[in-house]
């Protein structure tokens, strides 16, 4: 399968899941990348047809995955001729609540005008939102993924009882109200060694940061227990798979699509609410064998089903089925 991916190099972006998916595609199939920061980038090429001929001179790619921007539900593309490009085309729908739901009519019109074949979405919530719409037929579920070169078991000493590193833990937000509540409860427990920190900030992090990339995985790996949550949409966030791959016991609220993702409470993660999280923390700190059994099962789940290489194969199967 020949896949052309057009977009800026995201190796240095805070969220590593985006580049991880591309890594899986280019190492599993004939995936080639074009954009600022990638080898061979030529700023004089300004249309998708020309980019396709430049990157795949021998034959047209089977699929074009293009990055774009969305404002008020309207898509804009960095190069000319996306709607006229004569081939199979896909885009990502990521923050669906902001990108598509707030201006649904504009978004649906943009998809139609651009002639998009597939809408790739990280979250089950997007599929649920458009279940009764024609748009649903274009949607392909592509859960977040991780690169095992970045997220893995780094054999760090378990110096923290619990870690909670996420946006909106230290300041209340309407999107993640449970995070602030959980953080306040853990802070009140003086018997716990607790790893928390300010969010490092979205965007590019070209210099090494202790909470970005492999260093982030090592921090998670140094915790006996790590917490994350899905917010008001109960999203299966990228951090779920990154934490499991970093070999810690993951405590989280049960996300939408948990069964589809192989997540089983008490088997490879532990489901909590803001009301039960403290009791669960103390229980699993006292029961080492049970904690280690579940964290090991979570690690295996991540590596066997959710790495970027597994995700590439799953993506191909989903597209082929369509």
Q: Report pLDDT for 110.
A: 97
CA-based torsion, 167, 69, 256, 315: positive or negative: negative
Q: What is the pLDDT of residue 320?
A: 87
Quick one: pLDDT at residue 322?
77
Q: Give the domain ranges of the chain.
A: 2-145+308-321, 160-306
Tell me, rounded to whole angstroms, the distance of Cα 7 from its chain centroid: 17
pTM for the structure as a whole: 0.96
pLDDT at residue 260 greater than cutoff 80: yes
Query: In the predicted model, what is the mean pLDDT of residues 257-283?
Result: 98
Residue among 216, 257, 301 nearest 125 (CA): 257
User: How far is residue 245 from each of residues 205, 301, 312, measured CA to CA in Å?
Assistant: 22, 8, 17
Average pLDDT over residues 212-230: 98
Give the angle subtended at the CA of 216 by the CAs of 215 and 221, to the nearest 5°. 95
Q: What is the mean pLDDT of the chain?
A: 97
Whether the predicted pLDDT of 159 surpasses 80: yes
| pLDDT for 236 | 97
CATH assignment, 160-306: 3.40.50.2000
- pLDDT at 27 (0 to 100): 96
Rounded Cα distance, 152 and 245, in Å: 5
Which band of pLDDT confidence, cut at 50, 70 and 90, is reported for residue 80? very high
| Best CA proximity match to 140, nearest among 123, 121, 160 | 121
Bridge partners of 66? 6
CATH class for the domain made up of 2-145+308-321? alpha beta
Residue pointed to by tokens 């139609």: 112
Q: What is the pLDDT of residue 147?
A: 98
Same fold for the pair 2-145+308-321 and 160-306: yes
Q: What does the pLDDT look like over 283-304, one tens digit per residue?
A: 999 999 999 999 999 999 999 9
Structure tokens at 209: 């940061």
**If pLDDT is split at 50, 70 and 90, which confidence band does 197 have?**
very high
Q: How many helices (H) and strands (E) does the chain have?
A: 11, 13
Task: Return the number of other C-beta atoms located less than 10 Å from residue 266's C-beta.
Answer: 11
* pLDDT tens for each residue of 90-118: 999 999 999 999 999 999 999 999 999 99
């Amino acid at each position: 399968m020949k896949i052309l991916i057009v977009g800026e190099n995201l190796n240095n972006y805070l969220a590593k899941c985006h580049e991880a998916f591309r890594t899986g595609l280019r190492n599993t199939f004939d995936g080639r990348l074009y954009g600022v920061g990638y080898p061979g980038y030529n700023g004089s090429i300004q249309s998708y047809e020309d980019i396709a001929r430049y990157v795949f001179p021998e034959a047209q790619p089977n699929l074009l995955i293009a990055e774009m921007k969305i404002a008020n539900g309207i898509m804009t593309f960095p190069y000319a001729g996306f709607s006229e490009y004569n081939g199979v085309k896909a885009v990502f729908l990521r923050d669906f609540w902001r990108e598509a739901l707030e201006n649904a009519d504009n978004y649906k019109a943009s998809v139609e005008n651009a002639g998009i074949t597939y809408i790739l979405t990280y979250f089950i919530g997007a599929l649920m939102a458009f279940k009764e719409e024609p748009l649903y037929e274009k949607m392909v579920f592509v859960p977040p993924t991780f690169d095992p070169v970045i997220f893995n078991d780094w054999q760090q000493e378990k110096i923290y009882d619990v870690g909670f590193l996420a946006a909106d833990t230290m300041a209340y937000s309407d999107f993640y109200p449970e995070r602030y509540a959980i953080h306040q409860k853990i802070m009140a427990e003086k018997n716990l060694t607790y790893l928390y920190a300010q969010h490092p900030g979205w965007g590019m992090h070209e210099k090494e940061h202790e909470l970005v990339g492999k260093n982030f995985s090592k921090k998670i790996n140094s915790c006996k227990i790590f917490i994350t949550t899905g917010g008001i949409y109960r999203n299966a966030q990228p951090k779920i798979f990154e934490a499991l791959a970093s070999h810690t016991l993951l405590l989280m609220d049960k996300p939408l699509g948990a069964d589809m993702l192989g997540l089983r409470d008490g088997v490879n993660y532990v489901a909590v609410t803001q009301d039960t999280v403290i009791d669960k923390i103390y229980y699993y700190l006292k029961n080492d064998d049970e904690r280690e059994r579940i964290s090991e099962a979570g690690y295996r789940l991540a590596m066997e089903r959710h790495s970027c290489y597994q995700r590439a194969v799953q993506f191909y199967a989903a597209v082929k089925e369509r």
